């Protein structure tokens, strides 16, 4: 059998060969009362979704395309912290299984040698004061060869195989993610964001560097200082003002 090592994450796994998006199925299952830790996973997605209305290329058997349903008893404004908890868990799992040294680009891209291997998309079912369910979508490029990526993303994307030269077992990596995420999630619930923040910062790619944050309201330029206790990015502008960035795409500046 699968030999599950985690207690609740992955206890219920809803597997499909081919879906439009595991997020879509997870949303439906969450509405129908799926328990905390339920996982939806597919071998292929025909319309995988990314952040900011982008699509996510999810070819058959090449990656981990999954959505995890969690039901924390928290207000919705803490959801971004859970995204950072997840990013740390996935980085640790990738390190453990492949020996690679991935880094996190705020908020939740995981890069190896500057190229993206993983994206995380968190979506909420919530009212004003409580999260009913958080749907954490994780997409990991695992066994694509570098030539397999479509032209538009070939220069910015990579896979664990392309980066390490070794085929990686998707089942082992998923297993490791469940164990790590469960541990960090409980740390977060019991001890707050501080321990997670320290871990996150130890994996962060652009701290101390000059960056440009592309937000819907325009670009913010300056030095990335770190994240706040809420998980919000702090940027020190040239004029000395510290700006807080809630949502953006980060580019390295000059
Ligand atoms: C991003 O970096 O833009 C986030 C990408 C998230 C992709 C994953 S794959 C599994 C889950 N289902 C989806 O449709 N999207 C997420």
Instruction: State pLDDT tens for residues 57-79.
Output: 999 999 999 999 999 999 999 99
Residues whose beta carbon lies within 6 Å of some atom of ligand 1 = 21-23, 45, 48-51, 54, 56, 58, 65-67, 109, 119-121, 137-139
Residues 146-188: tens digit of each pLDDT: 999 999 999 999 999 999 999 999 999 999 999 999 999 999 9
Query: In whole angstroms, how far apart are CA 95 and each of 3, 176, 177, 199?
Result: 21, 10, 11, 14
- Separation of alpha carbons 2 and 32, rounded Å: 26
Peptide bond before residue 107 is cis, with ω within 30 degrees of 0: yes
Q: How much distance in Å is there from the Cα of 114 to the middle of ligand 1?
A: 19
Q: Could you report the per-residue pLDDT of 98-134, keeping only the tens digit for each?
A: 999 999 998 889 999 999 999 999 999 999 999 999 9
| Closest ligand 1 atom to 47 CA | 14
pLDDT of residue 62: 96
pLDDT band of 3, cuts 50, 70, 90: low
Give the three-state DSSP class for 236: strand
- C-alpha 82 chain-centroid distance: 9
| Tens digit of each residue's pLDDT (9 = 90 or more) over 90-106 | 999 999 999 999 999 98
Which ligand 1 atom is nearest residue 49's CA?
14
The whole-angstrom separation of Cα 38 and Cα 22 is 12
Q: Can you tell me which atom of ligand 1 is nearest the CA of 23?
A: 12
Best mutation site among 30, 50, 62, 90 for ligand 1, i.e. most ligand atoms within 8 A of its Cβ?
50
Exposed, middle or buried: residue 195 (CB in 10 Å: 0-12, 13-18, 19+)? middle
pLDDT reported for residue 2: 58
Report pLDDT for 229: 84
pTM: 0.94
Give the per-residue pLDDT at 55: 94
Instruction: Please tell me what DSSP assigns to residue 12.
Output: S
Amino acid 1: pLDDT: 44
CB contact at 8 A, 86 and 178: no
Q: What number is the average pLDDT over the span 222-226?
A: 93
- Strand ranges (DSSP E) for 114-178? 115-126, 131-141
- Domains present along the chain, CATH in parentheses: 13-203 (3.30.930.10), 210-252 (2.30.30.100)
Average confidence (pLDDT) over 227-242? 92
Average of per-residue pLDDT across 196-211: 91
């Amino acid at each position: 059998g699968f030999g599950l090592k985690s207690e609740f994450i992955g206890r219920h796994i809803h597997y499909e060969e081919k879906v439009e998006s595991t997020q879509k199925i997870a949303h439906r299952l969450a509405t129908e009362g799926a328990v905390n830790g339920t996982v939806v996973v597919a071998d292929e997605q025909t319309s995988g979704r990314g952040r900011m209305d982008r699509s996510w290329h999810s070819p058959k058997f090449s990656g981990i395309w999954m959505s995890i349903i969690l039901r924390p008893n928290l207000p919705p404004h803490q959801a971004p912290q859970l995204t950072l908890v997840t990013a740390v868990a996935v980085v640790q799992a990738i390190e453990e299984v492949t020996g690679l040294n991935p880094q996190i680009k705020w908020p939740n891209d995981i890069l190896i040698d500057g190229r993206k291997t993983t994206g995380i998309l968190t979506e909420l079912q919530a009212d004003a004061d409580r999260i009913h369910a958080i749907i954490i979508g994780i997409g990991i490029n695992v066994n694509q060869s570098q030539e397999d990526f479509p032209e538009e993303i070939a220069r910015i994307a990579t896979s664990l195989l392309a980066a390490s030269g070794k085929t990686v077992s998707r089942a082992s990596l998923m297993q490791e993610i469940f164990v790590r995420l469960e541990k960090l999630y409980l740390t977060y619930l019991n001890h707050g964001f501080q321990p997670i923040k320290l871990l996150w910062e130890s994996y962060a790619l652009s701290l101390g560097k000059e960056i440009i944050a592309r937000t819907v309201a325009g670009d913010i330029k300056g030095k990335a200082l770190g994240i706040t206790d809420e998980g919000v990015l702090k940027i020190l502008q040239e004029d000395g003002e510290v700006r807080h960035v809630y949502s953006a795409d980060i580019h390295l500046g000059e």
